[in-house]
Structure 1
């Protein structure tokens, strides 16, 4: 029997699966250009980088920018705001796509179900500029629909947009309205993979729809929920720069200033590019620690993590 070299086998396999590799190439090129290649830019956080001197001509300063960040008076404020905005999203936003997916799965009329899915998906495709404009239209003190109703009822206008007490709540409501419907896609896909015979057996045993959801559907999508929860922990330092920046005003800066806005103000507006990169690197390290820690805890509890 003729021995075929490993190289020929490898090229034969590539040729046989060439269309699959061709479809993969777009994603590979994207991640290489926009995710892997820019990693070298993290070195700027250890320099006093100026575009005029360039990367090779800028002075190396070690951990100076990180030290300044940690000793800054704004660090505690940014850490607190970022943490609480993330907690609000975790507690109030994260369960909504799961509940919505369970409700959509119970709709038996296919046309009605597809119409509702299209409606809840639609806000995801709107830009944050439009979302924030809607928020001003509803909650502003002079032209807002809610305040007009309050005044018409004999009350005094409520300063929703300029009162720090409402800022985190408004951000969470915006996230729910914009992305809750889109978030149901993954959960609906997981629910679609459940064996229908399990529901048939449950019906024969006399289980109600609520018991079927609790004992069949939820356990089936639990691995998906856990994975998305771990990834959510990894993004806790990232609260949505564009949304926060558009919602900010001088009266709520004390609860709106986060790492993303600080990075923008220092790096882009102030021209301190190395400071902005240092903040981004700090966020990345925090996200990595949170992912590893949450994955470790999940495995200790007996569930399957992401690795």
Structure 2
């Protein structure tokens, strides 16, 4: 099995499973260990490294999470966690399950709740999609992911907390740093994050009937990303009572008319992104029912020709409006 992972390099490199000795060298690098480290730590480190089965991505995740002064008990917990098999999917091969186990350990032992929420939020975006720091701040603010922010200068406070959380995720290898203050998720990390979020985070291709069925049967969806045939989404009937964030990616040059019924059962929606990637831009018509989104804080309409959108002025809770 080959694992692709961007570590401290400028580009993604492909690595085979490492021999035990090379795996241990890599583990020491990411955990900050040396021959001068205590024997107790080194002994536990070797056992943990061995449990990673030579997978570079697993070694990087688990070693980074143990870097710095840590009590022996924490190393013991890490070893025990890796020795337990994770029940993800019976069809997954053992190497993949081991990576999932390492990711889950790294996530579970993160003490920053904001970082955890941000991690799950990032899983909503498409594979290999680079997410701007500014967008993360706006989503975190719009979806109220960060508690205890003073009313005065709240946006700046939110930005600071998001940046701190983002950096912690990068240090833990749960996010990859990109150029221009952007981040992205490794595909395995994204799969794991969606698994952790269970039925609350859902990313679907609306062109696939089986994926739309998952949406229509969902009762607890909080974050939803849709791409594909947009008509399938607009015509579907799903429980949006708990929906907080909705991201819709389109690729069309035809006029887009959101049906009036679409916003009728989404009272808690706080962030809405409608984004089109087709050139030339199609026109977009918003229904009267958008006024029912009384909790909407952030609205993004990207790459559309917009006519009269004065109806947006009736959204009293709206804090951020972006028309690109």
Highest CA radius of gyration, 1 or 2? 1
Higher helix share: 1
Q: State TM-score, norm by structure 1.
A: 0.21
Return the structure number with greater strand share. 2
TM-score normalised according to structure 2 size? 0.20
Give the number of the structure with larger relative contact order, counting CA–CA contacts within 8 Å between residues 6 or more apart: 1
